[in-house]
Amino acid sequence: MYVIKLGAIGSTNAYLKELTLTSIPQDYTVVVSEHQTNGRGQMGTKWETEAGKNLTVSVFKKILKLNIQEQFYISMCVSLAITETLGKFQIKQLRIKWPNDILSANKKICGILIENIIKNNKMVGSIIGIGLNVNQKFFNDLSQASSLSLLTGIIYSKEEILSEILKQIQFYFDLLESGKKSFIKNKYENQLFRINKPSTFKLNNDETLSGIIKGIDNVGKLIIWTEDEILRTFDLKEIKLLY
C-alpha cells in the first residue's frame, strides 16, 4: 500500500479526489492526516474531530468488477472491515447503523463517506473516507458520539488500528472480487442496528413512520416492514432512523 501522511488538511477525501483528476491512483493509496479541518459526513454534514486524537483517513480502491447498481457493496465491505477491526480491539456491542455509521452501545464511534468514481458509465474506483473516534474525550453538543478510549479507558495506537483496518478492507474486497456477495450482504444485515426490532423513523417530509428493519435490497435501500404490514424500501435521502 502507498501511504501519504499529512499533518493537517481540509479533507483527506478531497485530497484523494484531486489526485484522480489527473490519473487513477495506485490501488490502496492511503491518505492519513493528524488533523482534518473540513471533514465531511453523509448528506453534506460536517465531521468534527479533535487534532491528533482520532483516525482520519481515506483509501483509494480500484473497482473493476462492480456495476453501478452494485456500488452499495463497497459500503458493506468497509463497514464490515471496521467492525471486524474494532472487535479485535475488544470493543463491544458493535452495530452498523444503516447505511454505514458504526456504533458501540448505541454511541456513534465511526463515520464512513464513500465517493465513487464513475467514467463512461462504469465504476473505476472508490474513495473511502473513514473518521474513527479513537482517543478523543469530549464531544461538544454531540450526545450520541463516543470514542474507543471513552468506551474502554484505554489510550490506543492509531497506527496499530489503521494497520488492522487496512488489512480488513483488503480482506473484504478480496471476498467481493471473488464473488462472495451473498456472504457479505448476509453478514452486513446481521450486524444492522435495530434489525428486526420495532423502530421509529423520520421521513423527508418530517412525518414519522413506525416499522421494523428487515434488511436491505440489492442496491442497498433499507427494507422496512411497516405497521400497515407492507414491505417498503427507502434510500438515504428519504428516511432517517430516530434513536
Please write the tens of the pLDDT for every residue from 159-179: 999 999 999 999 999 999 999
Whether the predicted pLDDT of 141 surpasses 90: no
Q: Which pLDDT does position 195 carry in this prediction?
A: 97
Q: What is the dihedral of CA 28, 164, 175, 42, to 10 degrees?
A: -70
Q: Residues 20, 60: contact at Cβ < 8 Å?
A: yes
* Per-residue burial over 136-151, b = 16 or more CB atoms within 10 Å of its CB, e = otherwise: beebeeeeebbbbbbb
Whether the predicted pLDDT of 207 surpasses 80: yes
Q: What backbone phi and psi angles, to 5 degrees, belong to 33?
A: -130, 145
The dihedral sign for the CA sequence 47, 44, 103, 14? negative
Q: Which pLDDT does position 39 carry in this prediction?
A: 64
Q: Residues 228, 210: contact at Cβ < 8 Å?
A: no
Q: Tell me how far apart the alpha carbons of residues 211 and 201 are, in angstroms, rounded to a whole number.
A: 8
Please write the tens of the pLDDT for every residue from 71-125: 999 999 999 999 999 999 999 999 999 999 999 999 999 999 999 999 899 999 9
- Binned at pLDDT 50, 70 and 90, residue 235 comes out as very high
Of residues 55, 56, 89, 60, the one with CA closest to residue 74: 60
Look up the pTM and report it.
Answer: 0.94
Please write the tens of the pLDDT for every residue from 149-162: 999 999 999 999 99
Q: Tell me how far apart the alpha carbons of residues 68 and 18 are, in angstroms, rounded to a whole number.
A: 22
Helix (H) or strand (E) segment spanning residue 70:
none
Q: Which pLDDT does position 187 carry in this prediction?
A: 98
Of residues 69, 40, 18, the one with CA closest to residue 181: 69
Please write the tens of the pLDDT for every residue from 24-71: 999 999 999 998 887 665 655 555 678 889 999 999 999 988 999 999
Across-strand partners of 212?
Answer: 198, 225
